[in-house]
Structure 1
Amino acid sequence: MYPDRVVSGMRPTGSLHLGHYHGALKNWIRLQAEQPCLFFVADWHALTTHYDDPSIIEKAAWEMMVDWLAAGVDPSQATLFIQSRVPEHAELHLLLSMATPLGWLERVPAYRDRVDNLAPHEQATYGFLGYPLLQAADVLVYRASAVPVGEDQLPHVEMMREIARRFNYLYGKEPGFEQKAQDAVKKLGSKRARLYNELRTQYQQNGDDEALAQAKAMLDEAGSLSMIDRERLFGYLEGSRKLILVEPQAQLTATARLPGLDGGKMSKSGGNAIGLREDKAGVTQKVRTMPTDPARVRRTDPGEPARCPVWQFHQVYSDTPTQEWAARGCRSAGIGCLECKQPVIDAIVAELEPMQERAQPYLDDPSLVRAIVADGVDTARKLAQETMRDVREAMGLDYT
């Protein structure tokens, strides 16, 4: 059984904003303290929409990496790297593409939506069609056990699982596997061997997931087994194949819903974002000019917090007493909109100041960021190369 490992990536969009922080980075920071994590800049994925002007990608990648570090992603706890610096991603993508049915890619909701809404001058490229497969390779090449995603990304993780399952079915055919697996069962000892066979039967005949989990837990505790025998027994549990690629689990992330300053989705292109390196004056100006409940034309007009974008910021940044004060003051016209906004301004400034301090050394000396990425690339490549050795051997491409 391979160790638990989390993999996640982000397309390089340049400097990040509060939507990125609350939507993904806070979760990454929590995960890095709990289990091994690999976080990568998905620069190849950026080419699906910027293939005609790739010059912007490199600058955006380094800016984004600085913001990760500023937010608290820690290179001493997590592996940080750039996707294109680990060519094994592309190699696995190519090999997986040989056996992935075209219909699997065409049914991805994001692809269908894009094709249906193409402007006359746009074209649907192979890169866009194949990006879920590259996304799968990004995760499968590290044999990740978990992928942190929002609900909209669940179909992508399910496709990763289907692709891993299909690959194992097609290529996990070790010569004499059945006999080698049965020999490995005997090494468990008579009591554990009997339990293993019972649990295997319960899972394969009745689909008992609890029996599968119990058998896997038993194998994890069987210290006398070699890695290859342990791997065989995990594969034997679920069929008669060797497990080469791991089926990752989707790890749904609980994220605070932080809208843009106008109530829509926060984005730089929409002009409604607060950057992670925004100074106090910028935060103050942006929040003070946020639209509020249109019913509050005058200071004396009562309003309704549910209609106000500022209220959604209170729900993320304010404690319960402050939220109660803001809601009561809005409905009674007891406070003005600028008064209501001040606690939000203070909380955002307090959140961003430590990020700006952490970012400064990397802005002063960009070689620090390059060194972190170089170390991350070395670590990631070693893991990816282990997987690719097994993949090539399974596909008969090792030529030894």
Structure 2
Amino acid sequence: MTTKVRVLSGMQPSGRLHLGNWKGALENWVRLQTHYDSLFMVADWHALTSGYHQTSAIPELTRAMVLDWLAAGIDPEQSVVFVQSAVPQHAELALLLGMITPLGWLERVPSYKDKLRELAQRDIHTYGFLGYPVLMTADIVLYRAGYVPVGQDQVPHVELTREIVRRFNGLYGDVLVEPEALLTEAKVLPGLDGRKMSKSYDNTIALSATAEEVTQKVRTMLTDPARVRKSDPGNPDVCPVYHLHQVFSSSATVAEVDRECRAAGIGCVDCKRKLAEAINTQLEPIRERRQAWESHPETVDDLLVAGAVRAQQIAEATMHDVRQSMHLTVGRE
């Protein structure tokens, strides 16, 4: 039997997941787990790089996010689901890789200065924030992942991981696996205000929203600003509601909305009603799975403990080889 190639991906526990997270990442994860040996990680240590000042909500956010994963179709029987901080080998390998990573490599990461500007109101001029890519490298290579599923904008991060691995292997021998970026389709959804759907903009529809909440949220969405009256022809190309139709509605509905909007044959109220119905239809299986998991909340913690055990077994095998190659074995059993 052919051994599956391993992939690793993760998310920070920073709030309720929304439709953009689902279509941009989770759907890909669900597909990947059937083709690859998959590990999905709650990146709680990464959350500290910019959110170290407030940690009390991390346990609740972790459980809520994992529940979203399970509801979306992540199967803990197929995939390893675990919390980063429950596997201490991440910290050990990050420390060792930090010893060999040139400072200039970290300072040139494209997102570093962007994030400093974006989060200028926070004090994130810290060692942890600068060293984020080193911890990310440890996350990946600890499991000897062959692929890292990313969008095009994240390819530079994977390339830095490859550089660090090449430097380590050049110094200590071919111990770590050099991963490759697995380019995945990442749909960017418009939010309620037309901007990218994002928690930071408070313009999202939560993946855990009830049917009523979805309908209410969709009703508030911006539409074509030039269409003042129902009798005015609309332009679907500039309408966030239409863009969501293209993701959630059938091709027949998309064609109908496009045609009728341009001819003023459908009003925005009816258009939004159709969208809410389409979103709720797609969310119904997720709601059913969520209800099943919520009826046994203790099982979420149990599966995370089991996932950490499985992750530690893989991680410790890698760390054994790393310590051997760096001659860090004296005093160990």
Instruction: Report deviation, 1:3.
Output: 6.0
- Confirm or deny that 1:326 pairs with 2:257: yes
Q: Measured at CA, do residues 287 and 50 of structure 1 come closer, stay the same or move farther in structure 2, by a change above 3 Å?
A: same
Instruction: Report deviation, 1:255.
Output: 2.5
CA–CA separation in structure 1 for the residues paired with 2:124 and 2:166: 32
- 1:264 alignment partner, SS class: coil
Counterparts in 2 of 1:34-45, with a 5 A limit? 34-45=35-46
Unaligned runs of 5+ residues in structure 1 are 173-242
CA–CA separation in structure 2 for the residues paired with 1:3 and 1:322: 39
Counterparts in 2 of 1:62-211, with a 5 A limit? 62-116=63-117, 119=120, 122-172=123-173
After TM superposition, the structure 1 stretch with the greater mean CA deviation from structure 2, 374-383 or 334-343, is 334-343
CA–CA separation in structure 1 for the residues paired with 2:56 and 2:45: 13
TM-score, structure 2 normalization: 0.95
Deviations 1:197-252 (A, max 9, x none): xxxxxxxxxxxxxxxxxxxxxxxxxxxxxxxxxxxxxxxxxxxxxx2100101011
Q: Aligned AA for 1:97?
A: G
CA–CA separation in structure 2 for the residues paired with 1:138 and 1:253: 19
- 2:10 alignment partner, SS class: strand
Q: Which residue of 2 aligns with 1:316?
A: 247
Q: Which residue of 1 aligns with 2:182?
A: 251
Q: Aligned AA for 1:310?
A: V
Q: Which residue of 2 aligns with 1:177?
A: none
2:49–2:124 CA contact under 8 A, matched in 1: no
- Confirm or deny that 1:276 pairs with 2:207: yes
Instruction: Report deviation, 1:96.
Output: 0.3
Q: Which residue of 2 aligns with 1:337?
A: 268
CA–CA separation in structure 1 for the residues paired with 2:252 and 2:267: 17
Q: Which residue of 1 aligns with 2:323?
A: 392
Q: Measured at CA, do residues 281 and 68 of structure 1 come closer, stay the same or move farther in structure 2, by a change above 3 Å?
A: same
After TM superposition, the structure 1 stretch with the greater mean CA deviation from structure 2, 25-34 or 271-280, is 271-280
Deviations 1:7-38 (A, max 9, x none): 00100023211111001000000000011000
CA–CA separation in structure 1 for the residues paired with 2:180 and 2:146: 6
1:14–1:59 CA contact under 8 A, matched in 2: no
Instruction: Report deviation, 1:112.
Output: 1.8
- 1:80 alignment partner, SS class: strand
- 1:138 alignment partner, SS class: helix
1:293–1:305 CA contact under 8 A, matched in 2: yes
CA–CA separation in structure 2 for the residues paired with 1:252 and 1:108: 19
1:257–1:316 CA contact under 8 A, matched in 2: no
1:21–1:71 CA contact under 8 A, matched in 2: yes
Q: Measured at CA, do residues 116 and 19 of structure 1 come closer, stay the same or move farther in structure 2, by a change above 3 Å?
A: closer
Instruction: Report deviation, 1:352.
Output: 1.4
Instruction: Report deviation, 1:265.
Output: 1.6
Deviations 1:279-303 (A, max 9, x none): 1111111112211101110110111
1:14–1:62 CA contact under 8 A, matched in 2: no
Q: Aligned AA for 1:36?
A: D
Q: What is the percent sequence identity of the aligned residues?
A: 55
CA–CA separation in structure 1 for the residues paired with 2:285 and 2:252: 25
2:149–2:183 CA contact under 8 A, matched in 1: yes
- 2:261 alignment partner, SS class: helix
Instruction: Report deviation, 1:346.
Output: 1.2
1:86–1:380 CA contact under 8 A, matched in 2: yes
Q: Which residue of 2 aligns with 1:27?
A: 28
- Confirm or deny that 1:46 pairs with 2:47: yes
Q: Which residue of 2 aligns with 1:371?
A: 302
Q: Which residue of 2 aligns with 1:214?
A: none
CA–CA separation in structure 1 for the residues paired with 2:110 and 2:301: 36
CA–CA separation in structure 1 for the residues paired with 2:200 and 2:116: 22
- Confirm or deny that 1:56 pairs with 2:89: no
Q: Aligned AA for 1:359?
A: R
How many corresponding residue pairs? 329
Deviations 1:319-351 (A, max 9, x none): 222111111111110111112222211111011
Q: Which residue of 1 aligns with 2:9?
A: 8
CA–CA separation in structure 2 for the residues paired with 1:149 and 1:292: 31
1:295–1:302 CA contact under 8 A, matched in 2: no
2:49–2:128 CA contact under 8 A, matched in 1: yes
Q: Measured at CA, do residues 135 and 121 of structure 1 come closer, stay the same or move farther in structure 2, by a change above 3 Å?
A: closer
CA–CA separation in structure 1 for the residues paired with 2:303 and 2:121: 43
- Confirm or deny that 1:289 pairs with 2:220: yes
TM-score, structure 1 normalization: 0.80
After TM superposition, the structure 1 stretch with the greater mean CA deviation from structure 2, 345-354 or 31-40, is 345-354
1:295–1:303 CA contact under 8 A, matched in 2: yes
Q: Measured at CA, do residues 123 and 283 of structure 1 come closer, stay the same or move farther in structure 2, by a change above 3 Å?
A: closer
Deviations 1:62-101 (A, max 9, x none): 1100110011000011000000000000000000000110
